[in-house]
Amino acid sequence: DIQMTQSPSSLSASVGDRVTITCRASQSIGTYLSWYQQIPGKAPKLLIYGASSLHSGVPSRFSGSGSGTDFTLTISSLQPEDFATYYCQQSSSSVMYTFGQGTQLVIK
């Protein structure tokens, strides 16, 4: 099974900061990588699919990059509503999908 490892597990930042979250796959997954945002008490929301494609309605300050085993999610200028937990998910293996363990973004 493909393992997904996110770093860091927690990140402290301020409004206006640029932040980057990393996700690493245990084997190559091409660009079958999605990023989700979850606000406490709410369902996850899709941000990025195909490693770098912005889901409709998602602000352009969010961007994704990478292929193979290493991926990043970047928020160019943090807004108050961006403080949440972020998950990556691989969909390369049709046999089993896996999520990363999450990165909690907190206000400094």
Partner 1 sequence: QITLKESGPTLVKPTQTLTLTCTFSGFSLTTSGVAVGWIRQPPGKALEWLAHVYWSDDKYYNSFLRTRLAIARDTSKNQVVLTVTNMDPVDTATYYCAHLLVAKQYSYHVWGQGTMVTVSS
Which conformational region is residue 66 in: left (phi greater than 0), alpha (psi within -120 to 50 degrees), or beta?
A: left
94 contacts partner 1 (rule: CB under 8 A): yes
55 contacts partner 1 (rule: CB under 8 A): yes
The CB-of-76 to partner 1 minimum distance in angstroms stands at 22
> How far is 19 from 56, CA to CA, in rounded Å?
21
CB contact at 8 A, 85 and 8:
no
83 contacts partner 1 (rule: CB under 8 A): no
Pick from 12, 53, 77, 79: which binds partner 1 (CB under 8 A)?
53
Minimum CB distance to partner 1 smaller for 11 or for 17: 11
Report how many residues bind partner 1 under the rule CB under 8 A.
28
45 contacts partner 1 (rule: CB under 8 A): yes
Closest CA to 85 of 54, 40, 41: 40
What is residue 24's three-state secondary structure? strand
